Amino acid sequence: MGLAAGPVGAQQSGREAELEAIRDQIMVLQGRLNRVRQEATGLRGELEQTEVALELQRTRLAEARAARRMAEDSLAEVEDEIVGLEQRLEELRDHLRQRMIDLYRLGQEGYLRLFLSIQSEVDLLPGIRQVRYLVKRDGGLLASYEDAHAQLSFKQTELASHHEEVQGWLEMESTRADQLERLQRRQARLLAQLEREDRDLSLQTADLVDKERKLANLLDFLYGRADTPLSGKPVQSFQGVLDWPVKGKVVRGFGTRMDPRYKTQVPHNGIELVTDPRTEVKAVFPGRVLFAAPFQGYGLTAVVHHPGRVFTLYAGLKDLRISQDDMVSLGQVIGLSTDKLYFEIREENRPVDPIEWLR
C-alpha cells in the first residue's frame, strides 16, 4: 500500500486540477451565455444562444465525468485500504487465536502460573520481565486488533459514502447527457429553420430584382415608343410643387439598397406608400396614358407620359379609371388604391426620387 500511495496521490491531484479547470470554464461560459441572452435578437440570436448553451452543457457533462472519475479513484483507493485492513485483521486474529490457545493451556491463572514456575531466585528478575513483556505484548496485540477493527469500520463507512458519490455523479452525467441531446436537437431545428428563412429571403430578393428588371424592360419599351414630344409646359418647371398622387405614408423610400444578409443590390426606383383602401389615386400632371393594365408582380399599373419626356408610374391599384392612349388632366383619378401604392417618376427614362418632385 505504501508503494501505491504516491502514484494514486499524484493521480488524484491531477484529477482535482482538471476538475478545477473545467469549473473555471463553466463560469466563463455561463457569463458569456448571460451576455448573449441580453444582446442577441431574432432567429440568429436564438441560434447563438443555443450554440453557447451547447458548449456550456458539454463542459458541464465533462465536469460530471471528471468528478465521477475522481470519485471512482477515491473509491478504488478506499477499497485497496480495506483489503489491506482485512488482511491485517486476519493476521491479528491468528495471533490472538494462538495467544488464547497458549493461555488456555496455562489454565485460568495463566500469567500467575507462569510466574510461579520460576525455579530459582536467580531466574526471578528475568522471569518477572518476561511475564511483564508477555502481558504488555498481549495487551498491545489486542489494542492493535481493536484499532484495526475500528479503522475497518470507518473505511467501510467511507466506502459507502464514495459509492453514493459515484452513483450521484453517474446520475448527474446521465441527466446532463440528456440535456445536451435536447440542446443538439434544438440546434438542428434552429439551423433548419434558419436555412428555410435564408432560402425564402433569397427567393424574395431574387423576386424583387426580377420584378424591377421586368418593369424596367416595360418602361424601356414605352420610352422607345414615346418618341413624339407632348405639347405643353414641361413638368420639370413644377419640380418640387407637384401634388401627391394619394394621401398616405411613405414606408419605403427611393434608392437601391444592399441586402444585409446576401450582399445583393436590390433596386427600388420609386416610393411605396401605405394608404386607406379604395382611396382615389390622381395624376400628378397632365399627360397621355401609355399603359393601363395588370403587370406581373405589381398588379394593376398605369404609366403616364408628361411634357418634358417624364413618366409617372402608379402600381398596385385596385381598379383603373383610365385606358391606354387616354389624355389625363392634372388631378384626374387614375384609379383606386389597395392598401399600398407604388409610385415612380422617370426623367428621360432615368429613375429619380419622387420626394424631390412632390410638395
Instruction: Name the nearest CA neighbour of 285 among 346, 221, 342.
Output: 346
**pLDDT of the residue at 211:** 85
pLDDT at 100: 63
Q: What is the pLDDT of residue 126?
A: 52
226-356: CATH superfamily: Glucose Permease (Domain IIA) (2.70.70.10)
Sorted by where each begins, the domain ranges of the chain are 2-198, 226-356
Q: For residue range 160-200, what is the model confidence (pLDDT) as tens digits?
A: 998 999 999 999 999 999 999 999 999 999 889 888 887 87
User: Which residues have CB under 8 Å from 335's CB, separation 6+?
Assistant: 281, 300, 302, 314, 317, 318, 319, 320, 321, 322
Query: Which residues of the chain, if any, have pLDDT below 70?
Result: 1-9, 99-138, 259-264
Q: Is the pTM of this model over 0.85?
A: no
pLDDT given for residue 341 in this prediction:
97
What cell was used for 181?
A: 441531446
pLDDT value of residue 51:
92
pLDDT at 226: 86
Gyration radius from the chain CA atoms: 48
The backbone region for 308, taken as left when phi is positive above 0, alpha when psi lies in -120 to 50, beta otherwise, is left
Topology (CATH) of 2-198: Helix Hairpins (1.10.287)
Half-sphere exposure of 338 (CA within 13 A, CB side): 13
pLDDT for position 122? 44
Cβ neighbour number for residue 215 with a 10 Å cutoff: 23
Please give the pLDDT value at position 195: 85
pLDDT of residue 9: 65
